[in-house]
Amino acid sequence: MPVHAAGRCYAPEELKAEQFLRLHSELMVITVTCKQSSTGRDLVKPYVGFTQRHTKAIQKAEATLIRYYGQVYGGDGTSRLDKLRTKLANEFGQVVADESAPVFCARARDKVLAMYESPSKTVLEDNIRLYRASLSYEPLCKDSEIKTAAATVTSDKAHPSAKKKRPKTEVEEEDD
């Protein structure tokens, strides 16, 4: 279960980015674990098709989180994104371990096909809502925090030499 670090929060687009990557990771774990749909259809091709169809959305989500992690933690943010991807895969892998692969697959295996066969707009706007904000690794910012963060980024753009950082409201804990 995700742990929220003190003083950090997502703007709505950052939360949406994590939710989309969460969905993508879940579909990967389902594909690797279950291999076939309930009707015996191979899941690899639909998973690859889903990934190819949504490559731009995946790249945008990754870029959004890389930018966020760079602002919050410093650096380029890529290693933090890699850690997130690993955490998400492990999170879904733990669900498989807790339920057992046969129980997990009986419940989840057809989600890959459903996402693959869904119109892109439905996947991007509706289906990621399956993941509540409480499942994210950062809480959603309150309106005032979003405005402060946006003002900081806007101010940094006006002064290119300024280092981009989100405001910190508390002492931040380093998470694994």
Interval 39-64: pLDDT, tens: 999 999 999 999 999 999 999 999 99
Using alpha carbons only, give the angle 65, 70, 71 rounded to the nearest 5 degrees: 100
Q: Is 76 contained in some domain? A: yes
Tokens of 102: 């046969």
Q: Is 147 contained in some domain? A: no
Tokens of 56: 């731009």
Q: Are 38 and 110 in contact (CB under 8 A)?
A: yes
Residue 140 forms beta bridges with which residues? 10
Share of the chain above pLDDT 70, in %: 68
Measured CA to CA, the distance from residue 16 to residue 26 in angstroms comes to: 15
Tokens of 42: 């191979």
Q: Is 110 contained in some domain? A: yes
Residue whose entry in the numeric block shows the structure tokens 């994590």: 18
Tokens of 28: 């990967």
Q: Is 144 contained in some domain? A: no
Amino acid symbol at 176: D
Q: Is 142 contained in some domain? A: no
Please indicate, yes or no, whether the overall pTM of this predicted structure exceeds 0.85.
no
| Domain residue limits at 79 | 12-136
The total of structural domains in the chain comes to 1
Q: Is 145 contained in some domain? A: no
Q: Is 156 contained in some domain? A: no
Measured CA to CA, the distance from residue 17 to residue 41 in angstroms comes to: 29
Tokens of 148: 């402060």
Highest mean pLDDT among 16-25, 60-69, 109-118: 60-69
Q: Is 2 contained in some domain? A: no
Residue whose entry in the numeric block shows the structure tokens 């904000």: 133
